[in-house]
Amino acid sequence: DTGVSQDPRHKITKRGQNVTFRCDPISEHNRLYWYRQTLGQGPEFLTYFQNEAQLEKSRLLSDRFSAERPKGSFSTLEIQRTEQGDSAMYLCASSLYRGPSYEQYFGPGTRLTVT
Amino acid sequence: TQLLEQSPQFLSIQEGENLTVYCNSSSVFSSLQWYRQEPGEGPVLLVTVVTGGEVKKLKRLTFQFGDARKDSSLHITAAQPGDTGLYLCAGAGTASKLTFGTGTRLQVTL
């Protein structure tokens, strides 16, 4: 296993279109996270799953955003009716509980540009 | 809301110099992780510190977790151009999600 993978790496879309991103975590990891990172900032938490259950969603995740992890393996993040403010790097991370800390391993990200 | 402040925000130094990056918060974290990020890529985990007062070394990098588990520092000895990148600290709370600092952009020149 080579780590967390994300697809696509880059996406350019017009305002109002829907987009979907995919994340494949490290195979034995039971937790999967989505973050968003804008230029010059650190990543911000969006949501996370334990197996197939979505356990927490940030207030940043508006109604236009939906995430799924149907079989507890890969996850998808969909943005409906994209807006220019959605332009950002969308990062996926996965983790496996190890004692008191969850070490999270990140994928390469999907860079979204909304024109 | 848990906030992590990093300082300095930008650092430009010459090869061979030493530097320290600070990560401070008013909140207690169950663990703290340091990442390095290259442009256009995801963050790469460098180290996790869990115990207050803990010190971990990774070659020329030394990480320390504050006694109260609210702050941390990263010290690089004899910096090299390959150390260039964005350094991010991230605290893990009880919900396991990470709260990231604003980052320190390091440039090491020859």
**What pLDDT, in 10s, does the model give residues B27-52?**
898 889 999 999 999 999 999 999 99
Q: What percent of chain A has pLDDT over 90?
A: 77
Q: Is B53 helix (H, G, I), strand (E, B) or coil?
A: coil
Which residue among A35, A101, A105 sits closest to B30, beta carbon to beta carbon?
A101
Give which of B3, B1, B7 is closest to B70, Cα–Cα: B3
Q: What is the pLDDT of residues A13-46, one digit of tens each?
A: 999 999 999 999 999 898 999 999 998 899 999 9
Give which of A21, A12, A31 is closest to A67, Cα–Cα: A21
DSSP A101: B
Ordered mean pLDDT values, 10 residues apiece, chain B (110 residues) = 86 97 92 94 94 95 95 97 96 82 94
The rounded distance, in Å, linking the Cα atoms of A24 and B91 is: 24
Furthest-apart CA atoms within chain A: distance in Å:
44
Chain-wide mean pLDDT for chain A?
92
Name, in order, each residue with C-beta under 8 angstroms of A109's C-beta and a sequence gap of 6 or more.
A6, A9, A37, A89, A90, A91, A92, B40, B41, B42
Q: How confident is the model at residue A12 (pLDDT cuts 50, 70, 90)?
A: very high
Which chain B residues touch A41 with a CB distance below 8 Å?
A: 102-103
Which residue among A45, A103, A107 sits closest to B97, beta carbon to beta carbon?
A45
Output the six-digit token pair for A103.
């070490």
pLDDT score of B94: 66
Which chain B residues touch A45 with a CB distance below 8 Å?
A: 97-99
CB pairs under 8 A between A and B: 67
pLDDT score of A100: 59
